[in-house]
Amino acid sequence: MHPVVILCGGKGTRLQPITDECPKPLVPVDGRPFLSHLLERLEVEGVEEVILSTGYLADQVDAFVERTHWDFSLRTVREKKPLGTGGALRHVADEAGLGTFVAMNGDTLFGGSVDRLVQFHDAQNVAASIALVQTDRPDRYGRVRFDTNSEAITGFEEKQAGIEGTVWINAGAYVLTSSVWGAIPAGRTVSLEREVFPEWIGQGLCGCRFPDADFLDIGTPDDYRKADEWLTQN
């Protein structure tokens, strides 16, 4: 399987004061750092290499790596200044000498199979693939539109109040080729979701649907509480 890069460098301002002294991926969920839940699932899937992209309170993430043991290689790559999701991935790819890799967010838990996402991507032979899950909260996450025959993504819609129903959303798990991350300007602050992906519509950007996959987000206090309750019960 391709290496996995997990974005762990954000400040998590919406979770303050919890994140004032703790990076968001390490906040406790069900009695353990949230990152432990993510890594546990990757371990089960047989991932061989995981790289944590760090920035804010990076020393704490380094300490977490030193005190934990996994059945895969785990290391960190630190950004010297905030680079956004896209800029951080470019930095890690350059520093680690990566080609195609899986990227994930350190504050969301994607319950689908990463191996299936990789197999989908390799079979499609595209520039990038995004894992898609369903939610009945489009006002929180927006939506992703795609061609149901080709799976090609045709558009992204920002979250907005008043929308109801079940929609497909970005699950925060991707497979990126060097064509995509290599086009991100090095050393610049770039958003993968807002700047990079929209530019690749019609150029080999596909969505892999996971209709039954769990999706947990700890980005806001309300979602953080719900994630803790869900993992405690499951």
Res 93: pLDDT? 97
pLDDT greater than 70 at residue 161:
no
The more confident residue out of 215 and 118 is 118
Burial of 231 (0-12, 13-18, 19+ CB in 10 A): middle
Q: What is the pLDDT of residues 8-45, one digit of tens each?
A: 998 878 788 878 889 999 999 888 999 999 999 999 99
Res 77: pLDDT? 98
Sequence-distant (6+) residues with CB within 8 A of 89 are 5, 7, 53, 103, 176, 181, 184, 192
The residues spanned by each domain of the chain are 4-233
pLDDT greater than 90 at residue 202:
yes
Res 16: pLDDT? 83
Q: 3.40.50.10490, 3.90.220.20, 3.40.50.620, 3.90.550.10: which CATH number matches 4-233?
A: 3.90.550.10
Q: What is the pLDDT of residues 86-136, one digit of tens each?
A: 999 999 999 999 999 999 999 998 889 999 999 999 999 999 999 999 988
Distance CA 53, CA 55 (A): 7
pLDDT greater than 70 at residue 187:
yes
Tell me the three state secondary structure of residue 35: helix
* Mean pLDDT estimate for the chain: 91
Peptide bond into 211 cis (omega under 30): no
**Nearest CA among 232, 227, 225 for reference residue 110:** 227
Res 11: pLDDT? 81
pLDDT greater than 90 at residue 48:
yes
**What values do phi and psi take at 50, rounded to 5?**
-130, 135
**Nearest CA among 86, 119, 120, 82 for reference residue 105:** 86
Given 24, 81, 159, 226, the catalytic residue: 159
Res 12: pLDDT? 75
Res 30: pLDDT? 86
Helices (H), the chain: 34-44, 58-67, 84-96, 114-124, 138-141, 178-181, 197-199, 221-233
Res 157: pLDDT? 86
How many residues belong to the chain? 234
Res 160: pLDDT? 65
Res 210: pLDDT? 96
Side by side, the strands of the sheet bearing 49-54 are 73-78, 49-54, 4-7, 101-105, 167-176, 128-135, 205-209
Res 91: pLDDT? 97
Please, how many CA atoms are within 13 Å of residue 205, restricted to the half-sphere of its CB? 23
- Exposure string of 157-195, with b = 16+ CB inside 10 Å and e = fewer, is eeeeeeeeeebbbbbbbbbbbeebbeebeeeeebebbeb
Res 21: pLDDT? 86
Res 233: pLDDT? 66
Q: Is 159 an active-site residue? A: yes
Res 223: pLDDT? 83
Tell me the three state secondary structure of residue 126: coil
